[in-house]
Amino acid sequence: MTTILYVKSSILGEHSATNAIVDALHAHWAQKHAGASHVVRNLGTEGLPHLDMGTLGAMRSESAEQQATAAAGQKALQELLSADTLVLAAPMYNFGIPSGLKAWLDHVIHPGKTFQYGANGPEGLLKGKKAILVLATGGAYSEGPAKAMDFVEPYLRTVLGFIGITDITVVRAEALAMGDAGAASKAKALETVRAL
């Protein structure tokens, strides 16, 4: 069965642009791909704890808290491994991704599971998966001088590429703090996902 994993990372709940766009895509695909499994992980409401040395070694740890963190990370990893398509939402926070999304990436970018090093260097192990990136920004970064300040899209393309996901579609709502331009950009992003 096809599995679609929707990962949200906004802290703004019902006020979030990325959540609204992901929800619209989810509603559309629930109809279009009715036979698929649709899995939602909301890092804004149910985030993963940051990795620390104890968590990395939790298999041998006596700490119930560290074991619980490691188990939560393993569950997130399994969700990603099981997905055929990843819908990954990333609001821009201070020019980069939300810390909750970074914590999720730290758990799922896992040697031997999602990448490995060989004689020719690193190799991503998640080949064949597709990703839809849903991005939102208060300013406008898709072109012009501010483009160089966007550390969200290049970073996510890099980390997803590292684990073997190179079939990436970007849906961007931008200028959201800039009045009518933002409203139009969000409307266009909603229209785009409803046509996917």
Ligand X SMILES: Cc1cc2nc3c(=O)[nH]c(=O)nc-3n(C[C@H](O)[C@H](O)[C@H](O)COP(=O)(O)O)c2cc1C
Q: What are phi and psi of 186, to 5 degrees?
A: -65, -40
Mapping DSSP to helix (H, G, I), strand (E, B) and coil, where does residue 172 land?
strand
Mapping DSSP to helix (H, G, I), strand (E, B) and coil, where does residue 42 land?
strand
Contacts with ligand X in 70-129 (CB under 6 A)? 91-95
At its nearest, how many Å lie between ligand X and the CB of residue 190? 13
Q: Which is nearer to ligand X, 23 or 129 (CB)?
A: 23
Question: Alpha helix (H) ranges present in 12-148?
Answer: 17-32, 53-56, 64-82, 99-108
Side chain identity at 67, as an amino acid letter? Q
Q: From residue 130 to residue 159, what is the string marking binding to ligand X with x (rule CB under 6 A)?
A: ------xxxx--------------------
Side chain identity at 122, as an amino acid letter? P
Nearest alpha-carbon partner for 83 in 152, 27, 164: 164
Nearest alpha-carbon partner for 49 in 37, 60, 39, 63: 63
First to last CA, the chain: 19
Kindly tell me which residue out of 12, 30, 68, 71 binds ligand X, with binding defined by CB under 6 A: 12
Q: Which is nearer to ligand X, 80 or 152 (CB)?
A: 152
Does the protein bind ligand X through residue 29 (CB under 6 A)?
Answer: no
Q: Which is nearer to ligand X, 22 or 86 (CB)?
A: 22
At its nearest, how many Å lie between ligand X and the CB of residue 160? 19
At its nearest, how many Å lie between ligand X and the CB of residue 54? 28
By CB under 6 A, name the binding residues for ligand X.
10, 12, 16-19, 91-95, 136-139, 176
